[in-house]
Amino acid sequence: MNSMDSLKETMRRDRVFNFLAPGTHAASSKELDISHDTILYVEGITVSFDGFKALNDLNLHISNGELRCIIGPNGAGKTTMMDVITGKTRPDEGMAFFGQTMDLTKLTEYEIASAGIGRKFQKPTVFPEHSVFENLELAMHTNKNVWPSLFARLSSEQHDQIMQVLDVIMLHSESKILAKNLSHGQKQWLEIGMLLMQKPKVLLVDEPIAGMTHQETERTAELLTSLAGEHSVIVVEHDMEFVRSIAKTVTVLHEGHVLAEGSMDEVQNDSRVIEVYLGE
């Protein structure tokens, strides 16, 4: 039996074990099981900082391929929610699962990223002295611990993947430009592209259009919309117009709890939501 077969065999055994005793071996299973079409389950999550509840019994279910927007006033717990999903913050109570079997509260940040949850922070972390193409190339190799990877030969498959991502992030004509010479918006897209090189199943994006021009904002809406389907995308954003332009389902957070969830029209006409936003 080669190592790949033995790995598959182990996963198979784990899944049977999970079925018999739910939860006990969830963290060790590395296979994403989305047989129920839900890719993220967050249930009853509470996070306290010195007694203050940043998240308070938070529930969130994200479907495979869904584009979900999360809105809510400052301090509502949006970033803390992302911290829990990515393993940066451990909840005091509740559960968070990636697919049916991966217990996010037991995996490290690294394990969660490798399992397929990518996160884009507000500040882009591109390599300024490298070209757009090289940035994507570097991003492709980071999970294989190949460094320095720019000297490694790309397979045609890898080359194709970079070309594909360049198309998605609308930077094909800029592929030879140094990242430091890109506009603010283009840097943000490049960083999304770097995440895409890792082929994530879920992408978490925190305030993607902050500081962007009107035109860049529109193109970011197209970009994020085009990612849905193949990826599940969770976008935290303040700008209501932007959210309206991309969102199917909107979740409104307030004081660490889901205040409302539905279409943009539904949540904007919800009297509790109106009250919270007027009070901001």
**72/200 with CB nearer ligand ADP:** 72
Least Å distance, CB 206 to Mg ion, is: 6
Q: Is 79 in the site for ligand ADP (CB under 6 A)?
A: yes
- Can you spell out the DSSP letters for 193-259? HHHHTT--SEEEEESTTTT--HHHHHHHHHHHHHHBTTBEEEEE---HHHHHHH-SEEEEEETTEEE
Judged by CB under 6 A, the chain residues 51 through 70 that form the site for ligand ADP are 54
Q: Which of residues 80-99 bind ligand ADP (CB under 6 A)?
A: 80
Pair of tokens at residue 141: 């190799």
Output 253 or 264, the one with its CB closest to ligand ADP.
253
Q: What is the rounded CA–CA span in Å between residue 121 and residue 110?
A: 16
Quick one: which of 77, 118, 124, 193 contacts ligand ADP (CB under 6 A)? 77
Min CB(45)–ligand ADP separation in Å: 12
Consecutive H or E run containing 103: strand 102-103
Stretch that binds Mg ion, among 72-80, 146-154, 196-204, 226-234 (CB under 5 A): 72-80
121 makes contact with ligand ADP (CB under 6 A): no
Q: Which of 49, 110, 121, 147 binds ligand ADP (CB under 6 A)?
A: 49
DSSP per residue over 81-98, as a string?
Answer: HHHHHTTSS--SEEEEEE
Length of the chain: 280
In the complex with ligand ADP, which residue's Cβ is closer, 77 or 208?
77
Does 201 interact with ligand ADP (rule: CB under 6 A)?
Answer: no
Q: Which residues bind Mg ion (CB under 5 A)?
A: 78-79
> Which positions lie near ligand ADP, rule CB under 6 A?
49, 54, 72, 74-80
